[in-house]
Chain A
Amino acid sequence: MRLTLLALLLLAGSAAAQTAVDLPPAETRGDLLIRGATVLTVTNGTHENTDILVRDGKIEALGQGLSAPGGVRVVDGTGFHVMPGIIDAHSHIALSNVNEAQNTITSEVQMGDVTDPTDVGIYRALAGGVTTIHTLHGSANAVGGESETLKLRYGTFDPNALHFEGAPRTLKFALGENPTRVHGRGRDIRPRSRMGVEQLYREAFSEARRYRDAQNEAEENGTLAPPYSRRMETLADILDGEVLIHCHSYRADEIVMLMNVLRDFGVDRITFQHVNEGFKVAPELADFGAGASVFSDWWAYKFEVYYSTAYNVAILLRNGVRASINSDSGELIRHLYHEAAKSQRYGDLTDDEALSLITINPAWQLGIDDQVGSIEEGKDADLAIFDGHPLSVYARPVMTIVDGVVRFDEARDGDDMRLDVDPEEAIEDVRLYDHDEESCLVDAFVL
């Protein structure tokens, strides 16, 4: 025992911390062999004592007795569980702005413009096994901005390098108290009520349709098209089916309202976010083909979120709704596997069902399920390694791999993984900031 302790101390002295700038460049696509692990594919069962061979950032082979070409790093996975990298369908980390709250419709703004690749929150998410996030506009506006799907290639300063290649365009809508509070009660303009929110959508879609018609007409006649408006362009692109809607929502009545609006305008792809009352309208959601991205057991932080249940996600799944669990928080994102486990505990889900909530289902909702979300040959080598079953409360993420590159390694986890250090920051003033503020409303009340 004494010897072990001594050995540990010696190790502590020699092997230690890396820093963020040591991480490989974002464009790196890694090669790796994970040997002898328990592999949770999510879509194709669990395989004991299995190897995963990663070449050039992709999963090349899955099986037993695989060998790595010379020079390829080998990770001994004996006793460890490997699951697909966790996907968070609702995040506000890695952003310099969240709400452009000075207008009720801001479909022209793009979260991809304000990606902050230096946010240490990215590294914290990696440390929780997360490899892909969907960064959304806040919920101050009925129509927020375009979202951005990011791979957590922490270690780069180039925001473009985090962009998830091939991810479809998505956009934030918001129903209920937030838009009516910020604009209605806050500024005494529409929407003051849930009815007003509906009316905004109907007007905005109608205007966008007229805009696109006028454009087409001008092109045919060779006349001057209406003044360029990215706001209208994006709304028209939604009508053309090029942009997927992700809608902040709580109450069943307004969820049904929005599905009715979308039917009227011929839009058929939507994922509802939060959806605390989704269990009341699960068959309607399934009938529409809508996705639902929920919290496992987070509610009662305002009036419209009182009527909630921890069985929500199980009820949605059992009714055939493609459901996921999201964080909406820089703190929850670090342990989404706990959130999935809680849903399993409440709703009696299978392991694969529970894991699908944070892998293949959010991938489907983001339109990237052909690239990530499960461990399959040909898919991106985005993997999370745990020292136990990830749905066990005792399991810890020990290594997170993005495109075959180890971006988090608990053994080399540095004390200070900030990428960008403010040369004028007061040392005495360093503190952990509060993750629990309602991040959906960041900037919403700034004048």
Chain B
Amino acid sequence: MFLLRRLVALSLFLLIAPVVQSQGITADTPLRPVTRTFAITNARVVQSPGRVLDRATVVIRGGLIAEVGENVSPPSDADIIEGDSLTVYAGFIDAFSHVGVTEPEGEDDEVDDPGNPTNDRAGIVPQRDVRTMLNPSDSAIKDLRNLGFAVAHIAPNGAMLPGQGVAILLRNAQRFENTQGIVLTGPLSIYAQFERSPGVYPSTTMGIMAKMRDLFIEAGRRRQAVRQYFDDPDGRSRPAYDPVLEPLTRALDGDLPLYFRVEDTNEAFRALNITDELGLPLVLVGLPWSTPITDRLSGRDITAIAPLALPDTVATDTTAMAIPVPTPIAGATITIHQRRARSYRDLDNERAALSAQRAAAVGRYESNAATLAAAEIPFSFSTYEAKPGDIRANLRRMIAAGLNSDDALAALTTSPAELLDLPMLGTVEEGKMANLVVTDGDYFADETKVRYVFVEGIRHEAEEDKEIEGADPDAVVDATGTWSYTVSTPGGEQEGTFTITGSGSSLSGTIETDETIEVNNVTLEGNLLTFSFSQSGMGIINVSGVIEGNSFSGTASVGSMGSFSMTATRPG
């Protein structure tokens, strides 16, 4: 009887096993291709930033670039891609993200003594390897690949020291392939951030910094003791193996750089201070605005990883802020009593001035990459917290703010290849890995579309952005009136009303959330209604959806939190 049960169980397991193994295979998972030889003929080939072949052929064989050149003829077994109107770039490398990494599960346990939690509970797990947390069915893999990314350096999610990062190929696991198949190499990094683990020590940035001192100083001390013991154990006791300190020793030795993610200039200075103090190799991840810190970075062997995420643009009347400021003249006597107009008596002016300040701040973030380039600080790009749909537009904003497009391309290709020490990546050259982006024009131009992305010689057709279902630019609808809406969020349904007034191209409105907020940028194209509004604590919320009769159906997208489905009706 028992035997029978076990047999049934075993056979069930065998039935399930292949399914389990192929977990992560989705409809878009390519079959193993018939041929692994391709030739893109007569294309414009950007071999590396600034090095362009106007009419060349690229031959891909066995996952590598077999040949590149103007007089190359395609081999007979190649699948030919007519490249006459196409441009070929090296596949992009995301220098830092969590793409393809599982989210941490469950709530953090309550602990009896929050002052002395285990390292695991405190988020001090530098020994964890992101390869044990892969999620090859993460839809972001495809989203990034559609933009041209072929490789990403990924790190685990977590608190202050979440673990070690590796490079992965941005493709889904193939049929019968283990999930680990997408791993390119690693470990490449130890990830650090000023992120607390809820409810335990260390619960603040200063606590995290203090803890890092203890950990790294102790790791250094232990390294010394271990060396002494193995040199000459006589009279010494062996320091016990410590899984947490061991990888930190590798950072102290310079073998694994600390990828320190920061959110603002304060955190950037703190990351620099603590790594300088402890003598750690640093890669500064996520700095959104680098001007205040370029002096400290330049001339040093520190790479910055600039975020591809940018704050939303601000519509503003910039004239209001143009108040001239007298410069004190050296040697001149000045009188202390000089008064000026008070802005609080003029609220419109005050609001405009604040908007102008905010717009200027957005501008500083947009020029971040250009600032790094001008200061000759090596930098790469990270998709961390960037919405894939915004990334190309953000690159264009950075270029408009002064970033040279060759520098932009370098930050997507050659610079991260160098940073991650992966010389087989980053350029379109013979013998390199066949990671390629094939576009129908200049990648940084608005109208250009990505056609194919090759990841280690496997061709992926890039998918267009999905059109909003039911949107019809020729439809004629009236958007005005008061709508009762429902937004479905993971935290439950949110309800309220919004009112659209005006006509033609001059629509305006308000939305009631907890308060009544004026909405901006109200547009109606055919039956597609879009508007945005800013709510405290959430940033800017973009609403778009299709009107059919008296019902509205679309999405509300909330900054980096994502998009939520939104429906609304108005009285008939």
- Give me the interface of A with B, judged by CB distance under 8 Å: 8, 11-19, 22, 35, 68, 70-76, 80, 96-97, 99-104, 106, 108-111, 113-114, 116-118, 145, 156-160, 187, 189, 223-225, 227-231, 385, 387, 398-399, 406, 409-416, 418, 420-430, 443, 446-447
Contact B221 A225 (CB under 8 A): yes
B198 partner, pick from A13, A100, A411, A447, beta carbons under 8 A: A447
Contact B205 A12 (CB under 8 A): no
Shortest beta-carbon distance from A142 to chain B in Å: 12
Contact B314 A109 (CB under 8 A): no
Q: Using known A-B contacts A108-B214, A109-B207, determine if residue A16 contacts B365 with beta carbons closer than 8 Å.
A: no
Which B residues lie within 8 Å of A74 (CB)?
Answer: 331-334
Q: How far is the CA of A409 from the CA of B339 in the complex (A)?
A: 11
Q: How far is the CA of A227 from the CA of B517 in the complex (A)?
A: 56
Which A residues lie within 8 Å of B340 (CB)?
Answer: 11-12, 15-17, 411, 413
Interface residues of B in 301-322 (CB under 8 A from A): 311-312, 314
Q: How far is the CA of A110 from the CA of B205 in the complex (A)?
A: 10
Which A residues lie within 8 Å of B258 (CB)?
Answer: none
B331 partner, pick from A72, A76, A189, beta carbons under 8 A: A72
Which A residues lie within 8 Å of B113 (CB)?
Answer: 189
Which B residues lie within 8 Å of A35 (CB)?
Answer: 333
Contact A113 B270 (CB under 8 A): yes
Contact B358 A423 (CB under 8 A): yes
Contact B210 A108 (CB under 8 A): yes
* B239 sits at the interface (CB 8 A): yes
Contact B334 A16 (CB under 8 A): no
Of the A-B pairs whose beta carbons lie under 8 Å apart in the complex, a sample of 26, sorted by A's number, is A13-B341, A16-B323, A16-B341, A73-B330, A74-B332, A75-B336, A96-B206, A96-B266, A100-B210, A118-B265, A145-B206, A157-B265, A157-B293, A158-B269, A189-B113, A224-B237, A224-B239, A228-B218, A230-B210, A230-B217, A411-B337, A411-B338, A416-B357, A421-B358, A421-B361, A426-B539
Shortest beta-carbon distance from B316 to chain A in Å: 9
Q: Using known A-B contacts A12-B341, A113-B210, determine if residue A17 contacts B323 with beta carbons closer than 8 Å.
A: yes
Shortest beta-carbon distance from B537 to chain A in Å: 8
Closest chain B residue to A418, Cβ basis: B357
Write out, one digit per residue, whether chain B residues 193-218 have a CB within 8 A of any chain A CB (1) or not (0): 00000111111111101110110011
Which B residues lie within 8 Å of A157 (CB)?
Answer: 265-266, 269, 292-293
* B186 sits at the interface (CB 8 A): no
Q: Which one of B55-63, B346-354, B412-420, B431-439 contacts A?
A: B346-354
Which B residues lie within 8 Å of A110 (CB)?
Answer: 206, 209-210
Q: How far is the CA of A409 from the CA of B230 in the complex (A)?
A: 65
Given contacts A70-B331, A411-B335, 14 further A-B contacts (CB under 8 A): A11-B338, A72-B331, A96-B266, A97-B206, A97-B207, A110-B210, A223-B236, A230-B210, A406-B328, A416-B357, A421-B358, A424-B559, A425-B358, A443-B203
Which B residues lie within 8 Å of A12 (CB)?
Answer: 339-341
A72 partner, pick from B264, B330, B534, beta carbons under 8 A: B330
Contact B325 A412 (CB under 8 A): yes
* B296 sits at the interface (CB 8 A): yes
Interface residues of B in 261-312 (CB under 8 A from A): 264-266, 269-270, 273-274, 292-293, 296, 311-312
B361 partner, pick from A13, A72, A113, A422, beta carbons under 8 A: A422
Write out, one digit per residue, whether chain B residues 215-253 have a CB within 8 A of any chain A CB (1) or not (0): 001100100010000000000110100000000000000
Q: Using known A-B contacts A116-B266, A420-B264, A423-B362, determine if residue A415 contacts B339 with beta carbons closer than 8 Å.
A: no
A229 partner, pick from B214, B264, B269, B360, beta carbons under 8 A: B214
Which A residues lie within 8 Å of B312 (CB)?
Answer: 424
Contact B214 A228 (CB under 8 A): yes
Closest chain A residue to B366, Cβ basis: A423
Q: How far is the CA of A102 from the CA of B112 in the complex (A)?
A: 12
* B343 sits at the interface (CB 8 A): yes
Which B residues lie within 8 Å of A11 (CB)?
Answer: 338-340
Which B residues lie within 8 Å of A414 (CB)?
Answer: 325
Contact A73 B210 (CB under 8 A): no
Shortest beta-carbon distance from B346 to chain A in Å: 10
Shortest beta-carbon distance from B72 to chain A in Å: 48
A114 partner, pick from B114, B116, B204, beta carbons under 8 A: B204
Q: How far is the CA of A429 from the CA of B518 in the complex (A)?
A: 13
Shortest beta-carbon distance from A52 to chain B in Å: 15
Number of interface residues of B (CB under 8 A): 76
Which A residues lie within 8 Å of B517 (CB)?
Answer: 428
Closest chain A residue to B296, Cβ basis: A158
Q: Using known A-B contacts A102-B207, A114-B204, determine if residue A76 contacts B269 with beta carbons closer than 8 Å.
A: no
Which of the listed residues A157, A225, A429 has the most CB atoms from chain B within 10 Å of its own CB?
A: A157
Which A residues lie within 8 Å of B362 (CB)?
Answer: 423
Contact A427 B328 (CB under 8 A): no
Which B residues lie within 8 Å of A415 (CB)?
Answer: 343, 350, 353
Q: How far is the CA of A227 from the CA of B354 in the complex (A)?
A: 52
Which B residues lie within 8 Å of A104 (CB)?
Answer: 115
Q: Using known A-B contacts A102-B115, A160-B269, determine if residue A16 contacts B331 with beta carbons closer than 8 Å.
A: no
Closest chain A residue to B337, Cβ basis: A411
Q: Which 4 A-B pairs have the closest CB atoms?
A: A157-B292, A103-B115, A102-B201, A423-B311
Which of the listed residues B311, B361, B517 has the most CB atoms from chain A within 10 Å of its own CB?
A: B361
A412 partner, pick from B209, B326, B357, beta carbons under 8 A: B326
* B22 sits at the interface (CB 8 A): no
Contact B205 A113 (CB under 8 A): yes
Contact A16 B325 (CB under 8 A): yes
Closest chain A residue to B291, Cβ basis: A157
Q: How far is the CA of A277 from the CA of B328 in the complex (A)?
A: 49
* B535 sits at the interface (CB 8 A): yes
A423 partner, pick from B114, B200, B314, B325, beta carbons under 8 A: B314
* B373 sits at the interface (CB 8 A): no
Shortest beta-carbon distance from A235 to chain B in Å: 13
Shortest beta-carbon distance from B344 to chain A in Å: 8
* B540 sits at the interface (CB 8 A): yes
Which of the listed residues B207, B269, B343 has the most CB atoms from chain A within 10 Å of its own CB?
A: B207
Which B residues lie within 8 Å of A422 (CB)?
Answer: 358, 361
